[in-house]
Amino acid sequence: MTAELPEGLAGEGLRSLEVRWIFPGRLKTAVIGWFGRFPIGTESREDSYLLDPRLPGLSVKVRGGRSLDVKMYHGSPGLLEVAGRARGRMESWQKWSFPVSPPDQYSGCPAGWQPLRKRRRISHFSLAGGHIVARASGLDQEPQCNVELTEVSTIGQDWWTLGFEASGPADLLRSALEATAQLLFDRPLPGGTEPGLDESKSYMLWLSQRSGPKTEAFDVQRSVSDSLLPASGEADEHRSED
């Protein structure tokens, strides 16, 4: 599989602010219903993540066999907290995407790559006039936040994940993400599930932790960033500054 690199190496890439929680087991019908109170789109695909060799601070994947996505980790500006409902680590990323030629159907997954099958439910929101709304026409220039509820399967095991990804003007990313989280968690997750810091991690960190000691570099890089996080109360004080 060969990447077609555009001239100029894709410029500045896309900046985003993200939070993700990953849970073991199959996604329950009640959680799907909880998420379904907002308009959603669906998508199924298989992504392959590069685990070996490790590239500290980078997440590299082939998305659906059609694009090579390279993401650079820029640290965490703090914690996302919705009182009594959710607590997660916000992560700043910068992404470049390049088209690739589809793999041969008989080639399988190359050594060092981990395939991940996903069934995604996605809802889109926009921050307009200080209020978060389901994305509507005419709001393309406003800060956006996509929320996904995804069923994940890898190595014969089932998992599910809830993720937020804000994009747009850098100074409004945090506001868009926090406002979307407040709207979504206006109702608690069914079954007493409360997303917390133990479940809060990117796909790359999660896969790295599951694959063994060869991938310690990403954990070290993340732990250094985490040591700079404010305490819970301090995070609240600085929310509106980022």
Using the predicted structure, report yes or no on whether residue 233 has a pLDDT greater than 60.
no
Residue 131 confidence (pLDDT): 84
Share of the chain above pLDDT 70, in %: 78
Using the predicted structure, report yes or no on whether residue 224 has a pLDDT greater than 60.
no
For range 96-120, the mean pLDDT: 85
Residue 104 confidence (pLDDT): 65
Residue 128 confidence (pLDDT): 81
Higher per-residue confidence, 99 vs 213: 99
Residue 108 confidence (pLDDT): 67
Residue 81 confidence (pLDDT): 98
Q: Which of 88-92, 121-125, 215-219 has the lowest mean pLDDT?
A: 215-219
**Phi, psi dihedrals of residue 202, rounded to the nearest 5°:** -75, 165
Cβ neighbours, 10 Å, residue 79: 21
- Strand pairing class (41-50; 58-63): antiparallel
The encoded tokens of residue 41 equal: 């789109």
For range 57-73, the mean pLDDT: 96
User: Could you tell me where the DSSP H helices lie in the chain?
Assistant: 29-35, 173-184, 203-211, 216-226, 232-238
Q: Which of 64-73, 112-121, 164-173, 224-233 has the lowest mean pLDDT?
A: 224-233
Task: Give burial (CB, 10 Å; 0-12/13-18/19+) of 178.
Answer: buried
pLDDT tens, position by position, 147-205: 999 999 999 999 999 999 999 999 999 999 999 999 999 999 999 999 999 999 999 99
Higher per-residue confidence, 88 vs 102: 88
∠ CA 132-69-81, rounded to 5° = 35
Q: Which of 96-110, 150-164, 188-202, 216-230 has the lowest mean pLDDT?
A: 216-230
Domains assigned to the chain: 17-227 (2.40.320)
